[in-house]
Amino acid sequence: MTKPNIDNKKILVFTGAGISAESGLQTFRDGGGLWEGCDVMEVASPGGWAKDPGHVLSFYNSRRMEAAQAQPNAAHLAVATLEKKYEVMVVTQNVDDLHERAGSTRVIHVHGQLNFARSCVDETLIYPIGDKPIHLGDVCEKGSQLRPHIVWFGEKIHHYDVARDFICQASRVLAVGTSLSVYPIAGLLKKARGRAEKIVLAPDIEKKPYGFNWFRGKATHLVPIITERWLSGLRVDQLK
């Protein structure tokens, strides 16, 4: 199959919990992160939901409230400015809506969204709930319990094909604040083109994805520098 042409106007920004850390939201795997001292499968798997839905609802009700109170930071805002000159797709593993509130208009949530609830019997029944909690007994129009609109371990991620088609055409790819440890989405970066300018930004990473430059530091410091360069039509390699 022939590959699509690279489009100089297209930028894919791939984000994880680290971009929202400086907005006060905990990451998952850093020291003191959400998964420290927490059995992931109890709150983020269909088995955990079957065992104790009340516990799962309470976990995500807290996350939803925290996310609603957080504000977009300089990194989210800088990503949004790229739309002044480029066609940008933000592919985020985050379940908060800080990219949207910063002004990004094309945001793909591959792991779901806190501010939606969905039916347990029909995954096409999705309801906006803002910052409101979901309680046991809250039901969809088919009478079945509502659950968080979150992708749990073992469930299919959302919109992967849309993200893959875009990254294949992107001339610039920026990955920010992700440990790249959760598959299949971490494998998306392998689809970036050899000729594209590719950057991964985080204080620490275990393994740099092939062909990417690693910028070591915090999102609010480095993302605005990178986006300024791109808005000026420049590469960012020399900043290292």
Residues 60 to 89 in contact with ligand OAD, rule: CB under 6 A: none
* Contact code string over 114-153 relative to ligand OAD, x by CB under 6 A: -------------------------------------x--
Residue 218 is a binding residue for ligand OAD (CB under 6 A): yes
Contact with ligand OAD (CB under 6 A) among 14, 18, 86, 198: 18
Binding segment (CB under 6 A) for ligand OAD, from list 49-57, 61-69, 198-206, 226-234: 198-206
Binding segment (CB under 6 A) for ligand OAD, from list 55-63, 119-127, 158-166, 175-183: 175-183
SS3 breakdown of the chain: % helix, strand, coil, rounded to 5?
30, 20, 45
- Pairing outcome for strands 213-216 and 170-176: unpaired
Contact with ligand OAD (CB under 6 A) among 11, 17, 90, 91: 17
Active site residue 111: yes
Catalytic residue among 76, 109, 111, 149: 111
Helix (H, G, I), strand (E, B) or coil at 194: coil
* CA distance from start to end of the chain: 36
- Dmax over CA atoms of the chain, in Å, equals 58
Separation CA 228–CA 19 (nearest Å): 17
Q: Are the C-beta atoms of residues 215 and 240 closer than 8 Å to each other?
A: yes
Angle between helix 74-81 and helix 219-231 axes, rounded to 10 deg? 10
Residues known to be catalytic: 111
Q: By CB under 6 A, name the binding residues for ligand OAD.
A: 16-18, 21-22, 27-30, 33, 44, 93, 111, 151, 177-179, 181-182, 202-205, 218-219
